Amino acid sequence: MTEETLTKEGLKTQEYFVNMGPQHPSTHGVLRLMLELDGEIIKKVIPHIGYVHRSIEKMCEKDSYRQIVHITDRMDYLSNHMNNEAVCLLVENALEIEVSDRVKVIRTIMSELTRLSSHQLWWGVMGMDLGALTTFLYGFRDREMINDIFEETCGARLTMNYNTPGGLMFDIHPNFQRRVKEFVAHFKTKLPEYDALLSDNVIFRNRTEGIGVLSKEDAISFGVTGPTGRASGFSNDIRKHKPYSAYDRVEFKEILMETGDTFSRYKARILEMWESLSIIEQLIDNIPEGEIQSPAVKAVIKLPKGEFYQSVETARGELGVYVVSDGTKNPYRVKFRSPGFSNLFVLNHLAQGYKIADLVAMMSTIDLVIPDIDR
């Protein structure tokens, strides 16, 4: 609390703290933000994290490399497939094993489907945060089709554990290609609806345009990656800069915006959905034949002594996995560089001088997933 001051009318005024969260609908989880307020103007945002800390990194130290994959589902549960892929790619690179083209293509399709489903959910809750419940229902309706595809092929809707070091757990389901094509055709008719409902809405525009501007320099120095950073013009797409899986054989644009305000972060994700659809379309008809599990990976995986790093592009930004191996079947140390953690701490910088309602809009477009921040 600061000192009381007197306004010119002679009223006493004072800065004060308000806790936003840990149970606040717009934090999308158990995140507590301490807001230092002057009236309704935000002076400072202090994030308090750790409410869903499960010490995943420590748990990884007791697990074998096969078992680590399934824990990563629980970090950023909306980018589950990419998290799995990151660990698998790390193990494959460390063992110097090349997986078949079939595995690469299927992994890429799955990752893009995950990105779409994550962005659909984000779009739904973004509308809801700003007071439009309709978008929530529409976003979840389209996400349901992707969840069905996952359920049929991977056996689960959220914690899929479909990638294994050296390949995939099962081959794709016979219905997979048909269903994905149906989904792409369906979603292409629905995505313009998203624009009509929200992107062109006057109220929505007024609440997002020019709010919370993040400059390119700040995006780089805060380490803001993913669509949030690209909306400020910071080119950081791992799929482009360090292509993995089948991203080097598809054509897609890295979505870069200039203004860096809340609306351009919104727009970047909408445009990314179109890119994801185009990547899926390019691959779905030419899934090459090949084995789905590389025989070079043994039942007990031992990485050579040393340090390994692998990064992938999740729906929220760059996920890095860093493993120190001492040559045994368990890693000596695992560290995840999660995109949500870096993106969260830009909030204080963005929100200063804005109102609480603007903070909700900014938080939505940063697209926070709390288990990813806490791990």
Partner 1 sequence: MSAVATYFKDIFQGLKTLLTGMKITGYYFSHARKEIITQQYPENRDTLKMFDRFRGRVVMPHDENNEHACTGCSSCELACPNGSIEIMWERIVDPETGKKKKIIDKHVYHHSMCTLCNLCIIACPTDAIKMEQTFEHATFDRKELTMILNKPGSKVRKDVEE
What is residue 38's three-state secondary structure?
A: strand
By the rule CB under 8 A, 328 interacts with partner 1: no
What letter represents residue 280's amino acid?
I
Using alpha carbons, select from 127, 171, 115 the residue that is nearest to residue 290. 171
By the rule CB under 8 A, 197 interacts with partner 1: yes
CB of 156 to partner 1, least distance (A): 6
For partner 1, the closer of residues 15 and 291 by Cβ is 291
CB of 103 to partner 1, least distance (A): 16
Using alpha carbons, select from 222, 221, 223, 218 the residue that is nearest to residue 261. 218
Structural contact between residues 164 and 66, judged by C-beta atoms closer than 8 angstroms: yes
Q: CB count, 10 Å around CB of 286?
A: 9
Choose the binding region for partner 1 from 88-96, 201-209, 229-237, 244-252 (rule: CB under 8 A).
201-209
By the rule CB under 8 A, 55 interacts with partner 1: no
For partner 1, the closer of residues 99 and 238 by Cβ is 99
Cis peptide, bond prior to residue 304, ω within 30 of zero: no
By the rule CB under 8 A, 152 interacts with partner 1: yes
H-type alpha helices, the chain:
56-62, 65-72, 80-95, 101-129, 133-154, 176-194, 202-208, 216-222, 226-230, 238-241, 262-284, 339-344, 347-351, 356-366, 370-374
CB of 70 to partner 1, least distance (A): 4
Q: CB count, 10 Å around CB of 8?
A: 5
Choose the binding region for partner 1 from 12-20, 30-38, 167-175, 352-360 (rule: CB under 8 A).
167-175
Choose the binding region for partner 1 from 163-171, 276-284, 315-323, 345-353 (rule: CB under 8 A).
163-171
By the rule CB under 8 A, 94 interacts with partner 1: no
Q: How far apart are CA 131 and CA 121, in angstroms?
A: 15
Of 30, 169, 270, 324, the residue at the interface with partner 1 (CB under 8 A) is 169
Of 32, 44, 70, 333, the residue at the interface with partner 1 (CB under 8 A) is 70
Which residues lie near partner 1 (CB under 8 A)? 63, 66-67, 70-71, 134, 141, 144, 148, 151-156, 159, 161, 164, 169-170, 173, 193, 196-197, 200-203, 299
